[in-house]
Structure 1
Amino acid sequence: MNDTGAGATTGDTTGTLDEALERLHAAGPERLGRLTNHAPMAVEALAARGQAGAVHRWLDLYAPKLEEFPSSVEPVTGANWPAALGDPRRAADWIAYFRRETGERPWRDVLAEWWPRLLPGLYGGSTHPVIRVGHAVRTLAERGGTGPRLAELAHGLGYWAARHRPVTGITPLPSALSAADALEAVPPIDGGTAGSFPERLGRVGALPRWGADVTGPEEARRRLTELVRAATHRYATHGHGEETMLVHAATAPNAVLRALPALPRTLWVPSLHAAWTASAAVTAMYAPDEPVAYAAPGTYTADEVFERALAHGDEHVIKLTDTALDVGDEQALAAALRAMELSEPLA
């Protein structure tokens, strides 16, 4: 049986978040065949940041973007799963598989078994599947397991398995000492900036080898924390390259960082390497021609910045602001404010 964990009924987010997740589990992980359903990630961030009272109101605004849950093709089993890996048509099958797994085993055991299988394909679905898993793990680890929260982890893992896409053929380039300098050294992709995420990802040919020297888990966590900070700060001056997609240069590695405490320490170093490749690849794919100086329009507390993100409503703004609050410094809050300026509000 699964471990519900301490804290399953503590805090005023329990019922609200669980109700929202139950609403969302009737919808599919994508819409229009390729765009991600961001609502599960956004409502988790709202609940985690003390805005549970706004969850259903925000979800009502987002609801027109939801599509029905997809149909099953063929059940995924312990024997046939390799053939189904990376097949987006099998999303429903994968989600059903992980719902069975998380219903019968402790969720940490399921995560530990599947993380190394899924990690090489972190780049599929524009990195959204691992981000969704990171949000699910945060709630389970910090506030305990309930049926809807365990189901949310299953949806995230299932989406990741369905959109699993490895990245190969990357030529390693000399690196810099700091994450900020390494991101600065990332070369833009050849062939211009046209094309979808998968098309651009296919044109990423060379990246600095930042973090390749790391062999210990604590150093991996330290470097991953540094990467999240650097990518978040960088958004303030480079986010205009593509205001939505460049959010993922910060939120994808932060999802991995959030998952680390729930994973065996032996998985921390490969997690750092995969997160760096994801952040650097997104940086290469959407690099602007030139950075622009940015100064925040005033001084705000973290709570005030998150309230402004909620008022803005865009799901990527909410998620980047959530990551900026994890980083916790003025430059990170400025990046969140910059995202609000660049992004269209949720109508």
Structure 2
Amino acid sequence: MGRAEEVLGRVLPVRVQHALRDSKVFGKAVDNVLMVGAGAALVALRPSLARDYVVGAKDSQVARGLAYGPLKRHTVDVYGDADTAPAARGILVFVHGGAWGFGNKEMYTLHALELERRGFLVLVLNYRLYPWAKSDEQAQDVNLALRWARERYPGASSTRVMGHSSGAHISMLAAIQAAQQGEQLCDGLLLLSGPFDIETHYDFERGRGVHELSFMKPANGTTLEEFRARSPVRLVRQLSVDERDLLPHIMLLHGEKDDTVPVTSTLALHRELVHIGHEDLETYILERHDHVDIHTDFMFGRGHLVMALLDRFVKAPLTARL
């Protein structure tokens, strides 16, 4: 949640904040504001990318709105040559952020185009948002999409998942759920700036005065027990030895100057993964990067360090697929 929410958290009565948060139009309104704002910024600063953001690049192959499940939000946009890319470079699934309550696949066209140019078949998901679903159900949607991709593209050389912010939390939760069910549905996780301990993040949001307006609390439960049941830093310790072996390669990235999700969140998950003996792990803390910088570096294909880490992630040895 950003600066505008901090202002609203200070001036609006709690009951009004809850009414906004729990309405089915607030998240959509945030989406519209962000999409218009991003489009206007591109027109002003990067006009060459503005068209790509709105309609896609001329040289891109895009199949929009494919259904990976039975519900309205179970849709995915697929970028790339579906005949050659899965076998040649593999599949990369992008799970957007949005504080569990807003965001849509159309906002991430530039991310997908950059990844498509690198040879991937790129899947950008929509998934259910709060108030229609809580975070564990959102993670179930991610796994549903991964099973769909496995059936649709059986010759894929690899399947990797990238998630940003709440999308990173959901992606890690999905990998834990899969392991608990005896499955490994992806070969790698690239988790950017994720809030992996819901209890701690709630305290952080309360300190900023956005905890009553934020989707985080209702999307993850309303009690400490529910927070902990949706916190990867706690759940990984509960995995059996066999379940731990089903976790894929994990790369964690976080900006040192992130004031939306503190870097301590990623460091806590790193410590827990080390504690359970998960050796297929890389963690990078990026100086002079905040919550948005990592995101926009991918979006615009800029930032030599971030893009080098992406290349390192996709070249990592694959874990065994079961």
Asked whether the two chains share a fold, i.e. TM above 0.5, the reply is no
Q: TM-score scaled to structure 1, two decimals?
A: 0.30
More strand by share: 2
More helix by share: 1
Q: TM-score scaled to structure 2, two decimals?
A: 0.32
